[in-house]
Homo-oligomer: A and B are copies of this chain.
Amino acid sequence: MEEKKRLLVVSAHAADYVWRAGGTIAHYIQKGAPVRVIVLSLGVRGESNHLWKTPGVTPQEVADIRRRETFAAAKALGIQNLQCWELEDYPLRATPELESRLVEELRRFRPDILLSHDRFDILNPDHNQVSELVFRCSVISNSAGVQVGDTAATRQMGIFGFEPHQTELSRYRPGCFIDITDSFPQKKAAMACFQAQSHLIQYYTDRAAMRGNHARRLSGNGAIAYAESFSAFFPYAGDGFVV
């Protein structure tokens, strides 16, 4: 990995980037890569079911908890640049305003790598909206004729998709495995910050071990204990095969 690659992560809800990419994010930060994470929505309506069990809890209180949790998780991963855009979720709507805001963000941060939701999640329409939005904004951002203040057009980014929760039903296909053995303790610490979705901590711990098994099998690198997988929106182009 070249340490200079700039990584932008766009997460539909407050915890998605942790479950699905927390180890990779921490790994890039350890290597010194500039990393920015945008949380589009706190997931107050759609991803806080446990919090709503408290009698009389208000949307504002749920939002406060979710906001605290995601900043705590970001800290555990070493993220210094987390933005919460606090859009409504369920449904999260990809308005023209949101589109413009994200294009400007792309123009200013200028990522090499764009991590977000994969094209299809069979159980989560918000994820699908965000996937399409992020891709569309990347194309707009790349185009010289789209004028956003004093920014220059970006170059084609590598776009990679998070694993959805039920992968096979979502037609997810791993395009790469990132070794997160070194950053896995940070991912565990970050996952522990989410009170509302505690049942997912073991799930994504097991998942990281499973992906580690797959990565060892395909690469022959026995040192990989934990991994995260991502879909690749495009093939790579370079000087040789990656094996």
Binding site for B on A (CB under 8 A): 1-2, 5, 27-28, 31, 44-49, 51-53, 59, 62, 90-91, 99, 112-113, 122-125, 135-136, 139-140, 143-147, 153, 155-158, 160, 165-169, 172-179, 199, 202-203, 206-207, 209-210, 213-221, 224, 227, 229-230, 232-243
Contact = CB atoms under 8 A, between A and B. Distances in A.
Given A90-B145, A145-B44, A237 B210 contact: no
B202 A166 contact: no
Contact of A123 (B49, B177, B209, B217): B217
Contacts of A179: 237-239
A145 B52 CA distance: 6
Given A219-B236, A237-B176, A45 B145 contact: yes
A124 B46 CA distance: 31
A57 B51 CA distance: 54
Given A46-B143, A168-B168, A235 B175 contact: yes
Contact of A237 (B51, B62, B219, B241): B219
Nearest to A49: B144
The 3 tightest CB contacts between A and B, nearest first, are A1-B240, A158-B243, A215-B237
Nearest to A57: B145
A45 B146 CA distance: 5
A15 B1 CA distance: 36
A227 B237 contact: yes
A233 B236 CA distance: 14
A206 B210 contact: yes
A44 B53 CA distance: 45
B52 A156 contact: no
A236 B52 CA distance: 28
A224 to B, nearest CB: 7
A145 B241 contact: no
A220 B155 contact: yes
Given A156-B219, A158-B241, A241-B160, A90 B146 contact: yes
Given A125-B135, A214-B166, A90 B236 contact: no
